[in-house]
Amino acid sequence: MTEVIVATGLVKRYGDVTALDGLDLAVPEGSVLGLLGPNGAGKTTAVRILTTLLRPDAGTVEVAGVDVLAHPHRARERIGLSGQYAAVDEHLTGYENLEMIGRLYRLGYKRSRVRARELLERFDLAEAGNRPTKTYSGGMRRRLDLAGALVAEPDVLFLDEPTTGLDPSSRTTMWTVIRDLLRQGTTLLLTTQYMEEADQLADDIIVIDHGQAIAHGTADQLKSQVGGERIEVVVADPADLLAAERVVAEVAVGEVHVDEGTNAIAVPVGGGPRDLMVALRGLDVAGVELLDVALRRPTLDDVFLSLTGHVAQPGRERLAGGPGGEAATTVAGGPSGQEVAS
pTM: 0.74
- pLDDT value at residue 308: 67
- pLDDT value at residue 324: 37
Q: Which fold has domain 228-297?
A: Alpha-Beta Plaits (3.30.70)
Q: Using alpha carbons, select from 71, 65, 34 the residue that is nearest to residue 52.
A: 71
Q: Using alpha carbons, select from 7, 32, 36 the residue that is nearest to residue 204.
A: 32
Q: Which fold has domain 3-223+313-341?
A: Rossmann fold (3.40.50)
Under DSSP, the state recorded for 134 is G
pLDDT-wise least confident of 138-142, 210-214, 308-312: 308-312
What residue ranges do the domains of the chain occupy?
3-223+313-341, 228-297
Residue 200 has pLDDT above 70, yes or no: yes
Within this chain, domains 3-223+313-341 and 228-297 share the same CATH topology: no
Give the H or E element holding residue 102.
Answer: helix 94-104
Give the H or E element holding residue 1.
Answer: none
> What's the Cα-to-Cα distance from 75 to each of 52, 70, 81, 243, rounded to whole Å?
8, 9, 12, 61
Residue 341 has pLDDT above 50, yes or no: no
Give the H or E element holding residue 124.
Answer: none
Tally Cβ neighbours within 10 Å of residue 297. Answer: 14
Highest-scoring range by mean pLDDT, 13-22, 210-219, 221-230, 254-263 = 13-22
- pLDDT value at residue 241: 95
